Homo-oligomer: A and B are copies of this chain.
Amino acid sequence: MTGTVPRDTGGPSFAEHEVIERIEAFRRRRPRLRDEIVTMAHGAGGKASAALVDAVFVESFRNDELDQLGDGAVLATPRGERLAFSTDSFVVQPLRFPGGSIGHLAVHGTVNDLAMAGARPAWLSAAFVIEEGFPIVQLREIVADMAAAAAGAGVRIVTGDTKVVPTGAADGLFVTTAGVGVVPAGRAFSAAAVRPGDRVLLSGFMGDHGTAVMLARGDLDIDADVASDTAAVSELVEAMVAAAPATRWLRDPTRGGVGTVCNELAQASGLGVVLDERSLPIRPVVNGACELLGIDPLYVANEGKFVAVLDPGEADAALAAVRAHPLGADAALIGEVTDAIGATVALRTGFGGTRIVDMLVGDPLPRIC
């Protein structure tokens, strides 16, 4: 990272009421829902998704936990235990791709959402919607992938459901997992804790998963050896937080990619994010495939990565701790938080210029998770 950005000195400029005001202001600026039917873009994790979630779900279900709009909700039990609770549906096609299957994704995705909420993932549920005629042998393989992924992540699949719909009423198999984890005492990641000068870490190469699934479809005549990065990052998060206990905020850049997650950070914190293009870790083969596909890798999904906002004094220790873990060997500090550009995301390019990184618009890579 080159250049300097003014750092907060901890004075009254970030008093609680100001934090609340700037968050409220940017909530009001979230995109509006203007559509009459649901389109693929509403499922892509970008602008249209945010508009649908705000207008339909948050509006109707309104409560304090949901208003956090994180990867998972944090709940307090009568005995004062803090739990994280999260869910995701998986509709990826093809069901199996280089590096994994819908089974791996269904476990890793929910485990990672719990880890992003600060929890140690513990228990998962698994609900299956299966199209009549689906081969049992294929179902067994996917379930075995889920069992292996759960064992690897140290979680247990403790409850489930199976529904079957007639041929043509679903596309093979959809899997929905939900998860519960326990948040250690004293831990609270929050966008309200983010300060100017905080550093942004990405835990490894970006764009592997989305690129791998896109190429696995075979629609494009590109012969590139790209595997999904699907993995549980919960252990990696624990290693990082041990080295950087003041970690502010975490999010996994799945649908919408690193670019959209940084925009969510900007919206939620009311601060700007400046990314340094030369610091962004990306495999040359993924970069090349994205160029051929005409897609910006900043918007391509990852399934085994996280973006962390770190106290500047702990950033180097955090990076060292993450790099010491096999899943974090290619981690990098990719940018900085600033109060100089409003709640936007800017990319300093390799040529020394700067461009705005908006949220994902449309859905260039449908059904990747």
Contact = CB atoms under 8 A, between A and B. Distances in A.
A85 B123 contact: yes
A10 interface: no
A15 interface: no
Taking chain A's interface residues, is the majority helix, strand, or loop, or is none over half, making it mixed?
mixed
B61 A130 contact: no
Interface string A84-107: 011111110000000000000000
A83 interface: yes
A220 interface: no
A348 interface: no
Interface residues of A, number: 82
A41 B170 CA distance: 16
Given A60-B143, A81-B78, A135 B37 contact: yes
Contact of A136 (B37, B133, B170, B182): B37
Interface of A: 33, 35-44, 49, 52-53, 56-57, 60-61, 63, 65-66, 72-73, 75, 77-81, 83, 85-91, 122-123, 125-137, 139-140, 143-144, 146-147, 150, 156-166, 168-171, 174, 176, 178, 180, 182, 366-367, 369
Contact of A86 (B33, B125, B133): B125
Contact of A56 (B35, B52, B136, B150): B136
Nearest to A137: B36
A89 B125 CA distance: 11
Contacts of A73: 123, 125, 158-159
7 contacts: A37-B132, A38-B133, A38-B139, A65-B159, A66-B156, A83-B180, A174-B174
A91 to B, nearest CB: 5
